[in-house]
Each structure stands twice: as C-alpha cells, then as structure tokens.
Amino acid sequence: QRHLTSAADLTRDDALLVLDTAEEMARVADRPIKKLPTLRGRTVVNLFFEDSTRTRISFEAAAKRLSADVINFSAKGSSVSKGESLKDTALTLEAMGADAVVIRHHDSGAPHRLATSGWIGGSVVNAGDGTHEHPTQALLDAFTMRRHLAGAPDGGPAPHGAPGDGTGRDLAGRRITIVGDVLHSRVARSNVHLLTTLGAEVTLVAPPTLVPIGVGNWPCEVSYDLDAVLAKSDAVMMLRVQRERMNAAFFPTEREYARRYGLNSDRMARMPGHAIVMHPGPMNRGMEITAEVADSERCTAVEQVANGVSIRMAVLYLLLGGAGPAVTGTPDTTT
C-alpha cells in the first residue's frame, strides 16, 4: 500500500508486518545511537489542522530517527487562518517535495481526500480525522497489547482456547474492552477494525447516548454495563470523554459518568491479574479514569506513547519503500 488512511484497509498480514517491523525499530531505541540512515534525503511533512501532543511529536521523532527531513506545519499561524483551502495547502507542500504527508484534520475523510485527489504525489498517513479513524494509534495499541498479552514474538498459544497462529504474533482470543465516548472516538473505530483483524474479541461499553448509530454493523459486542465485562477482559481501554465535540444535553454529569463508566481502583481490582489498563491520552483524570489507576503499574499509557515512535517508524519505513530488512547496517552518526 502507498497510503495509510484507515485501519480497515489493513489485512492481517499487513498489520503483522507493521507490528513485526516496529519490534525491529524498537531495538534501535536500545542502541547508543538511535538513528538509522534509511530515509536520508526523503521529506516528511506533518500537516496538523488539529491540536496534538503525542501523535505529532512521535511522528517527528520517528521520521528523524530514520534520518528523513521533517517539516512541521500547524494550521494555527499558517495561511489556513486566512482561508486557504486543503487543496492549495497540499499543492504548496507538493511544490516543496513532500515524500509523505502525515495529516490530522477535524473533518472525517480529509486524509482519504488528500490520498485520492492527485494534489500530492507522496504517501498520505492519517494521524486522526474527525470522529473517523486514527490507524497508527490502533497499531501502537495492538503492539502494546501484543507485548503484554501475547508474549511476542514467540509466546505460547492464545488463551480462551482460540488457536491464533500459535506464534503469539496476533491477538487471537484476547478479550478487549473499550470504554467511554465511543461516539466521538476515532481511536475506538480504528481499534475495532484492527483488533478484530488480529483475532481479538472486542466489547464496547458506553452510555447509550455515546454509542454511534450503526454500531450494530461493527464487528464487536456492545454493553452498557462496565462491571459485567471487567472480569473477562484481557485489556480495558479507557477513552477520553471529548467534551469539545459534544452537545451538553447528551452528556450525564461528570460525577454520574465517573460513577457508572469511570475506571477506579475497585473496578481495576476486579480485572484478571494479567489484564492491562490502556488510555490513548490525553486523559481526563477524575472522569474516565482516576489518578490512582492512571498512575498504577497496570496502566500502559506512557508505554503506549513510547511504542508509538516504533510504530510510526515502521509505517514511514514501509510506505516510503524501504527495501530489505528495516534495521541493518551501521547507525547514522553523520547528523
């Protein structure tokens, strides 16, 4: 593939290739010199129309570790604020010779539009579009789950009797619970696609007003009772409540939300001993997750950020046509 705009486009083999390549990239982080010459001479543009901390910084770190030149574009302070269109912005980037454009946009479908428009010749990577998808977040989440739950790369067979491929490379039979503001969550949608492609069983838990119309067509279960699913979850992923995208009339009070759908220590204690707590960040401490749970050893939120660099290195490497093994040769000591 030349673009990554949706986790739904990834086959099982595509996803495993990204995860396995990211394992190789993670080993680079353990080297004294964390830089590879792989993408020297290539240009990666980070095109962010919406705020970001983790995704933007980790794409920048990933591109720099592969020795690419990086241009960071933020809509704030650019000619977008004077009304410049996505098309004219894209044509400007094309004129600067972008080999890959990493785009975050408030409109669902903007990355797909960029990838299919012909405005740019390089690869397009979706870094989060509206309430639609966030495929690299799902990949880093799957990478984190695999490390904890599948004993990657050569762990034993999956639990719950599911055979998987017997190598621990996929998530066959793992039970993943995704909790909270599913309605506005591109993270949830991408995770449902990717995790089921990797063989996991996904359950969404949300207040009825925060479940998307059409969720019946998603390959997952839906529950309104968090306490009923905790004991059979291998991972519990808490979603950020996205108040900025929400009509206040649809939202219970913060206290009521935390009481019914928040993860606190009592609830965490009801999870199996091996189960992990995940959060894509940024977190609303005290709402969907208590500070005690967020700071506990079972919460992988910070580890997810670190894994994001390895995943984004793998994605850039694979899209920009890296030939041969991802991590070979001598580290780049020239820059």
- Quote the least distance from Cβ 310 to ligand CP, whole Å: 15
Shortest Cβ 331–ligand CP spacing (Å): 28
Give the residue with the Cβ less far from ligand CP, 221 or 303.
303
What tokens appear for 309 in the block? 């660099």
- Cβ distance to ligand CP smaller for residue 38 or 55: 55
Minimum Å distance from CB 280 to ligand CP? 4
**Which CB sits closer to ligand CP, 135 or 199?**
135
Q: What angle do CA 211, 279, 100 make, to 5 degrees?
A: 95
- d(Cα 57, Cα 130) in Å, to the nearest integer? 19
CA distance 181 to 13: 30
Task: Give me the least distance between CB of 54 and ligand CP, in Å please.
Answer: 4
Task: Point out which residues pair with 69 in neighbouring strands.
Answer: 43
Nearer Cβ to ligand CP (124/326)? 124
Distance CA 301, CA 304 (A): 5
Q: Which two tokens stand for residue 259?
A: 């009481």
Taking the complex as a whole, how short is the minimal distance between the CB of residue 218 and ligand CP, in angstroms? 20
- Cβ within 8 Å of residue 104, ≥6 positions away: 47, 48, 49, 50, 52, 55, 56, 127, 128, 129
Q: How far is the CB of 45 from ligand CP (least distance, A)?
A: 16
**Cβ closer to ligand CP: 55 or 307?**
55
**Do 108 and 96 contact (CB within 8 A), yes or no?**
no
Report the interhelical angle of 135-149 vs 186-197 (nearest 10°). 50
Distance (Å, rounded) from C-alpha 259 to C-alpha 75? 38
Minimum CB–partner distance for residue 128 and ligand CP (Å): 6
Give whichever of 53 and 85 is closer to ligand CP, judged by the CB atom. Answer: 53
Instruction: Say if residues 279 and 240 touch (Cβ distance below 8 Å).
Output: yes
Q: How many CB atoms lie within 10 A of CB 132?
A: 19
Q: Strand pairing of 221-223 and 100-105?
A: unpaired
Minimum separation from the CB atom of position 121 to ligand CP (A): 26
Which helix (H) or strand (E) segment holds residue 275: the answer is none
Footprint on this chain of ligand CP (rule: CB under 6 A):
52-55, 128, 137, 280-282
Residue whose beta carbon is closest to ligand CP: 55
The smaller minimum CB distance to ligand CP, of residues 191 and 197, is found at: 191
| Residue with Cβ nearer ligand CP (169 or 186) | 186
Category of 33 on φ-ψ map: left (φ > 0), alpha (ψ -120 to 50) or beta: beta
Question: Residue 62 is encoded by which pair of tokens?
Answer: 């990933």
